[in-house]
């Protein structure tokens, strides 16, 4: 293993919550990081200065997200409600708390252009217009919602439930436009940055890849294997997280990272051929999260062993980051790519900046 002689990043900020860091996410505007914990805390780091928003309740926060304009922050979890803060002032303030009954809310995502928040509620997905404080749609699924995601252009919305991914055309909420049938339950969904592909990590340790240019074939009887979405198999265990590389020509030759056991398994579609795969094998504990730096092929992988590994071009290990005694739990790149934040299983929050 030959690491880079010069570090790519250096530690620039530290913070701590009282419990396991369950989620962290950067605002698309400015330099604000939101962090949540297993005891229900929500805090901000604004220009690396701590701003507490919510103290611990003993019930975890499991989903966290900023709106596309950075004006709203949503948090949800075990308590069964969604809390909304308005961020357009020096002092963020709580505006709404959406009651979801006894349902554990662990998935939420903002529309990329509108201030519409989608979140799961048992077998239902609700879409909330934060600016108007009203529900836009309530989508009923055949089983418990596993994951959800807006397409990057905001025109489609995907939800996985049981062995299907249901895809709506936005504003046409009466019924899904497409339904993607899988061989086992879909656990995680991930759109590629430009929306050319939708990946599904499945319960049977496989990953399905839907090419959006061929989505119309889901409504037709398949005649040849090429009419079906790609199924990537052979993963050694549960696929915990997926990440697409945000690089030029990603629509023609996409690169996908999958966290499984103590590995990151990489896949790349070779034009006019098939998917090629290779493992990144350096961790000694379960890999919990993977994320590409925006606009580059630099990959960060995070594991329970207390290491974050930075991989040049998702091939060669360049730098190893440490600082969480009990292991890391979550990571997130700043949208501009200049900072990498990570949370630890004992509440540590560390931020590194590009050198």
Taking alpha carbons only, the member of 61, 79, 72 closest to residue 110 is: 72
CB-based contact 37:61 (threshold 8 Å): yes
Mean predicted confidence (pLDDT) in 200-223: 93
With 70 as the cut, is the pLDDT of residue 284 above it?
Answer: yes
Encode pLDDT of 71-81 as tens digits. 999 999 999 99
Mean predicted confidence (pLDDT) in 335-341: 98
Q: Which of 54-58, 67-71, 97-101 has the lowest average pLDDT?
A: 97-101
Mean predicted confidence (pLDDT) in 6-26: 97
Confidence at residue 225, expressed as pLDDT on a 0 to 100 scale: 77
DSSP 8-state secondary structure symbol assigned to residue 296: S
What is the percentage of the chain residues whose pLDDT exceeds 70?
A: 99
What is the percentage of the chain residues whose pLDDT exceeds 90?
A: 88
Mean predicted confidence (pLDDT) in 35-57: 96
Encode pLDDT of 286-308 as tens digits. 999 999 999 999 999 999 989 99
Confidence at residue 1, expressed as pLDDT on a 0 to 100 scale: 61
The CB-based long-range contact list for 158-164 (8 Å cut-off, 24+ gap) reads 158/189, 158/191, 158/198, 159/125, 160/185, 160/186, 160/187, 160/188, 160/189, 160/200, 161/123, 161/186
Mean predicted confidence (pLDDT) in 327-337: 96
Neighbours of 200 (CB within 10 A): 28
Encode pLDDT of 212-242 as tens digits. 999 999 988 877 777 789 999 999 999 999 9
DSSP 8-state secondary structure symbol assigned to residue 185: -
Give the separation between CA 157 and CA 136, rounded to whole angstroms: 13
- Average pLDDT score, the chain: 95
Predicted confidence band at 4 (pLDDT cuts at 50, 70, 90)?
confident
Encode pLDDT of 260-282 as tens digits. 999 999 999 998 889 999 999 99
Tell me the domains of the chain and their CATH numbers. Answer: 239-355 (2.130.10.10)
Encode pLDDT of 144-183 as tens digits. 999 999 999 999 999 999 999 999 999 999 999 999 999 9
Pairing of strands 164-169, 108-110: unpaired
């Amino acid at each position: 293993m030959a690491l880079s002689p010069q570090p790519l990043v250096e530690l620039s900020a530290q913070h701590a919550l009282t419990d396991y860091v369950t989620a962290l996410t950067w605002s698309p505007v400015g330099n604000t990081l939101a962090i949540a914990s297993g005891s229900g805390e929500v805090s901000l780091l604004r220009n690396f200065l701590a701003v507490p928003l919510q103290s611990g309740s003993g019930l975890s926060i499991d989903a966290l997200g900023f709106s596309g304009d950075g004006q709203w922050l949503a948090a949800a979890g075990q308590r069964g409600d969604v809390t909304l803060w308005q961020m357009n002032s020096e002092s963020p303030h709580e505006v709404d708390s959406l009651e979801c009954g006894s349902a554990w809310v662990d998935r939420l995502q903002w529309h990329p252009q509108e201030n519409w928040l989608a979140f799961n509620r048992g077998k239902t997905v609700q879409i909330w217009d934060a600016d108007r404080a009203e529900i836009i749609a309530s989508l009923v699924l055949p089983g418990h919602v596993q994951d959800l995601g807006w397409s990057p252009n905001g025109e489609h919305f995907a939800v996985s439930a049981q062995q299907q991914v249901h895809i709506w055309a936005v504003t046409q909420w009466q019924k899904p436009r497409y339904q993607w049938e899988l061989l086992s339950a879909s656990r995680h969904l991930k759109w590629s940055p430009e929306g050319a592909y939708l990946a599904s990590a499945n319960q049977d340790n496989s990953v399905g890849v839907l090419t959006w240019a061929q989505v119309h074939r889901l409504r037709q009887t398949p005649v040849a294997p090429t009419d079906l979405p790609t199924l990537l198999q052979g993963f050694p265990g549960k696929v915990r997280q997926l990440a697409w590389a945000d690089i030029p020509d990603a629509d023609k030759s996409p690169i996908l990272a999958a966290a499984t056991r103590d590995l990151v398994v990489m896949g790349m579609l070779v034009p006019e051929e098939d998917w090629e795969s290779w493992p990144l094998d350096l961790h000694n504990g379960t890999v919990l999260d993977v994320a590409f730096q925006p606009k580059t092929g630099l990959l960060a992988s995070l594991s329970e062993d207390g290491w974050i590994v930075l991989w040049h071009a998702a091939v060669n290990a360049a730098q190893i980051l440490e600082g969480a005694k009990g292991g890391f739990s979550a990571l997130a790149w700043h949208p501009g790519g200049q900072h990498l934040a990570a949370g630890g299983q004992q509440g540590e929050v560390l931020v590194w900046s590009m050198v």
